[in-house]
């Protein structure tokens, strides 16, 4: 069998191990890599290339960065590559039916959940936030409806009590590479037809909003603990002490009596914030415009209020 010609589309670092896997696999030839254009980043808003673009450059692969991939002239150029299949991972643009029709084997996508659970933009964070005990990655056919294609393969990952979304993300992106080595090739050889998703089991993973990082202590300690773990990727979690925003960078579940939002100091090493049920213990924090610090250092120059706010 001749090499399978792949058009690879990806942007975030989640896609990097899969790109490397396809490059190193003797069964594939990557005819082009498509990623999002360079974007301003950091305090100086300097233009920054995507992780996939940087990886492709290291591998010596040709890269395109179209602002709008579905433009007729872009589709005409993509058709000229004569790729057998498009592999899409964390790319960031919606693909038109005209795009999908360019490839004999269509397009496949690696998604960071066990579909049909957590279709959408933030599957890793939403799984942690919901307290799921298992997650995974799926290889699916790309169809017009978001993340609704037949599932060609999956890798399951157990979520431990302490696991953050950042840690789960790192595991899943390596599992994604396994799907490229094995299930993708089996699909192209005709050994996999895919399994339909059960529409009754669909849940949606909405994009994370920055405002979700502000904690509501009327919720249970379990909910706040899960939110803290989920938003470890971005934007983190915070509250207000004496009207000043403070990020909570290391917490754990605890128990303390009081009303939601009450603050109880613990021997100047930590402090408790009472929740709707249970409490959280704050061990490390970051005042606005300052570095992270342990609570004992924070309390050297700050008096704790009786309540958050």
Task: Report the C-alpha gap between 257 and 263 in whole angstroms.
Answer: 10
Indicate the number of domains in the chain: 2
Domain boundary among 182, 205, 228: 205
Task: Report the C-alpha gap between 78 and 69 in whole angstroms.
Answer: 9
81 part of a folded domain: yes
Confidence category of residue 96, pLDDT binned at 50, 70, 90: very high
* Residues 126, 86 within the same domain: yes
Residues near 60 by beta carbon (within 8 Å), at least 6 away in sequence: none
Domain boundary among 156, 187, 205: 205
Percent of the chain that is helix, strand, coil (3-state, to 5) = 30, 30, 40
Residue 286, domain CATH: 3.10.25.10
165 part of a folded domain: yes
Domain boundary among 184, 205, 226: 205
309 part of a folded domain: no
Q: How many CA atoms lie within 13 A of 243 on its CB side?
A: 0
Could you check whether the bond before residue 116 is cis, i.e. omega within 30 degrees of 0? yes
156-193 pLDDT, tens digit each: 999 999 999 999 999 999 999 999 999 999 999 999 98
CA 228 to chain centre: 15
Task: Report the C-alpha gap between 58 and 193 in whole angstroms.
Answer: 34
* Residues 128, 192 within the same domain: yes
74, 75, 77, 82 alpha-carbon torsion, rounded to 10°: 150
Q: What are phi and psi of 245, to 5 degrees?
A: -70, 130
* Residues 12, 123 within the same domain: yes
Q: Which domain holds residue 292?
A: 210-298
Task: Report the C-alpha gap between 5 and 27 in whole angstroms.
Answer: 9
**Average pLDDT, rounded, for the chain:** 95
156 part of a folded domain: yes
Q: How many CA atoms lie within 13 A of 163 on its CB side?
A: 23
% of the chain with per-residue pLDDT over 90: 91
* Residues 191, 214 within the same domain: no
Could you check whether the bond before residue 254 is cis, i.e. omega within 30 degrees of 0? no
* Residues 23, 144 within the same domain: yes
Task: Report the C-alpha gap between 151 and 125 in whole angstroms.
Answer: 21
The structure's pTM equals 0.93
* Residues 24, 151 within the same domain: yes
């Amino acid at each position: 069998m001749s090499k399978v010609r792949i058009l690879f589309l990806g942007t975030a670092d989640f896609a990097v191990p899969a790109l490397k896997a396809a490059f190193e696999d003797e069964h594939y030839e990557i005819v082009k890599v498509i990623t999002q254009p360079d974007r301003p980043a950091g305090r100086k808003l300097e233009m920054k290339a995507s992780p996939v673009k940087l990886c492709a450059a290291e591998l010596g692969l040709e890269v395109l960065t179209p602002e709008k991939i579905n433009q007729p002239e872009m589709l005409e150029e993509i058709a000229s590559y004569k790729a057998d299949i498009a592999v899409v991972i964390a790319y960031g643009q919606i693909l038109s039916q005209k795009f999908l029709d360019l490839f004999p084997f269509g397009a496949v996508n690696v998604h960071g959940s066990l579909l049909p659970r957590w279709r959408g933009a933030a599957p890793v964070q939403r799984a942690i936030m919901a307290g799921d005990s298992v997650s995974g990655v799926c290889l699916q056919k790309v169809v017009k409806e978001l993340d609704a294609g037949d599932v060609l393969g999956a890798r399951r990952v157990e979520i431990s009590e302490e696991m953050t979304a950042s840690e789960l993300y790192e595991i899943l992106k390596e599992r994604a590479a396994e799907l490229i080595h094995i299930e993708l090739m089996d699909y192209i050889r005709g050994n996999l037809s895919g399994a339909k998703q059960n529409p009754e089991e669909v849940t949606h993973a909405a994009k994370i909003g920055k405002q979700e990082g502000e904690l509501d202590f009327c919720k249970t300690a379990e909910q706040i603990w899960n939110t803290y773990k989920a938003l470890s990727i971005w934007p983190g979690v915070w509250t207000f002490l004496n009207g000043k925003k403070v990020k909570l960078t290391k917490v754990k579940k605890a128990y303390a009596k009081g009303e939601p939002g009450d603050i109880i100091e613990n021997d100047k090493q930590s402090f408790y914030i009472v929740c709707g049920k249970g409490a959280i213990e704050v061990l490390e924090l970051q005042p606005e415009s300052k570095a992270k610090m342990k609570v004992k250092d924070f309390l050297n120059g700050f008096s704790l209020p009786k309540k958050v706010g």
